[in-house]
Copies of this chain bind each other. A is one copy, B any other.
Amino acid sequence: MTSSQLFEQIRKKKSYLCVGLDTDITKIPKHLLSSDDPVFEFNKQIIDATHAYCVAYKPNIAFYEALGPKGWESLQKTLNYIPKDIFTIADAKRGDIGNTSALYARAFFEQMNFDSITVAPYMGEDSVKPFLQFQNKWVILLAHTSNSGSADFQLIESKVTGRKLYEEVLLKSQEWGTKDQIMYVVGATQSEKFKEIRDIAPEHFFLVPGYGVQGGDLQTVSKYGMNRTCGLLVNAARSIIYASNDHDFASAAKKESISVQQQMEQYLDLYLK
Contact = CB atoms under 8 A, between A and B. Distances in A.
Interface of A: 22, 24, 60, 62-63, 65-70, 72-73, 76, 91, 93-98, 100-101, 103-104, 106-107, 111-112, 120-128, 142, 145-154, 156-160, 162, 165, 168-169, 172, 209, 214
Given A65-B107, A95-B120, A153-B122, A162 B165 contact: no
Contact of A60 (B62, B100, B106, B147): B100
Contact of A66 (B66, B107, B145, B158): B107
A149 B149 CA distance: 23
A239 to B, nearest CB: 14
A62 B162 contact: no
**Copies of this chain in the oligomer:** 2
A41 B160 CA distance: 52
Contacts of A93: 94-96, 120
B165 A152 contact: no
Contacts of A149: 123-128
The 5 closest A-B pairs by CB, nearest first: A124-B149, A124-B152, A69-B69, A62-B103, A65-B107
A247 to B, nearest CB: 25
A72 B66 contact: no
A121 B62 contact: no
A93 to B, nearest CB: 6
Contacts of A145: 97, 122-123
A137 to B, nearest CB: 15
A101 to B, nearest CB: 8
Contact of A69 (B22, B73, B126, B146): B73
Contacts of A168: 153, 156
